Amino acid sequence: MSIDTHAPYYEELECLLRCAEQADAISMARFGALDLHVDTKPDHTPVTDADKAVERAIRDEVAVAYPRDTVYGEELGRDESSGRRWIIDPIDGTKNFVRGVPVWATLIGLQVGEDIVASVVSAPALGFRWFALTGQGAWMGKSVEDAQRIHVSNVSALADASLSLSSLSGWKERGNRDAVIALTDDVWRLRGYGDFWQYMLVAQGAVDIAAEPELDLYDMAALVPIITEAGGRFTDLDGHAGPWGGCGLATNGLLHDEVLQRLH
């Protein structure tokens, strides 16, 4: 199967991929730069000149292609939706970026109404890019012409499942760290791939469960179509679908209800 070029929002997907190309060029030019400028935001997380430059470039591209659409970005403003909204995390994994760890990516999702209909996650230092279009599957590759379709795993038992978490501290604040630790005891394998990567590994079928207790819309929007078009499920920790709940659980679908019950 290949993507139908006449499918709804195909042109927007092409715009997403153009944005990813620009983002990759900007971020890779600054990755490891000795003069990288790093500030600390009010929430005590870092922001670099690369974060801002990437978001600015994406905003410029969207403004030319779709001037009536609004934008919700991590660094440069968070507009309400006008019916169509582009949701941007210019560098997801900024702490990794600052420290020279190659696990970071640009995340862009297109919201139409209440749905995220297309998205791209591009991790140039890893050499990977993932994208999805509603009804057209999830894909891994640099372009529509050079991509392979991806699918979640068919693991159906926790004892056989691979779980990835970003940290344990947020679970303590949520009040269910003991439940998380108990879950880690019952799965086959625990790893901490973290940030966007653990979710993309779920979409690829390499990991079966990924969860985080505290996330913003820009952390999740681009992940949702890729997970769901790959055959998985993405909800908040109360089981509500989509990136709207301030937290995230992604699974291959087969394990989702059991994990929700364990973590609720």
Predicted confidence band at 57 (pLDDT cuts at 50, 70, 90)? Answer: very high
d(C-alpha 91, C-alpha 24), whole Å: 10
Q: What is the reported pLDDT for 95?
A: 87
Longest dimension (CA), the chain: 51
Q: What is the pLDDT of residue 173?
A: 87
Residues making up the annotated binding site are: 74, 89, 91-92, 219
Tell me the domain boundaries of the chain. 10-150, 158-263
pLDDT band at 181 (very low <50, low <70, confident <90, very high): very high
* Residue numbering of the annotated binding site for Mg(2+): 74, 89, 91-92, 219
Confidence of residue 132 (pLDDT cuts 50, 70, 90): very high
Q: Which of 95, 87, 80, 96 has its CA nearest to residue 224? A: 87
Superfamily grouping for domain 10-150: Fructose-1,6-Bisphosphatase, subunit A, domain 1 (3.30.540.10)
Once rounded to an integer, what is the mean pLDDT over residues 165-182? Answer: 90
Domain 158-263: which CATH number of 3.40.50.12160, 1.20.1530.20, 3.40.190.80, 3.40.630.10: 3.40.190.80
**What is the predicted pLDDT for the residue at 42?**
63
Burial of 169 (0-12, 13-18, 19+ CB in 10 A): exposed
Of 235, 162, 171, which Cα lies nearest the Cα of 202?
162
* Section 44-63 average pLDDT: 87
Please answer whether residues 42 and 32 qualify as being in contact, where contact means their C-beta atoms are separated by less than 8 angstroms: no
What is the pLDDT at residue 105?
97
pLDDT of residue 167: 84
Same fold, 10-150 and 158-263: no
Work out the mean pLDDT of the chain and round it to a whole number.
Answer: 93
Question: Per-residue pLDDT for 44 more than 60?
Answer: no
Task: Please give the share of the chain, as a percent, with pLDDT higher than 70.
Answer: 96
pTM: 0.94
CA distance 182 to 258: 13
Higher pLDDT, 264 or 56: 56
Q: Three-state SS string across 151-212, please?
A: CCCCCCCHHHCEEEECCCHHHHHHCCHHHHHHHHHHCCEEECCCHHHHHHHHHHCCCCEEEE
Where residue 76 falls among pLDDT bands split at 50, 70, 90?
confident
- What would the pLDDT profile of 81-117 be if each residue is shown by its tens digit? 778 999 999 999 988 988 899 999 999 999 999 999 9
Model confidence at 24: pLDDT above 70: yes
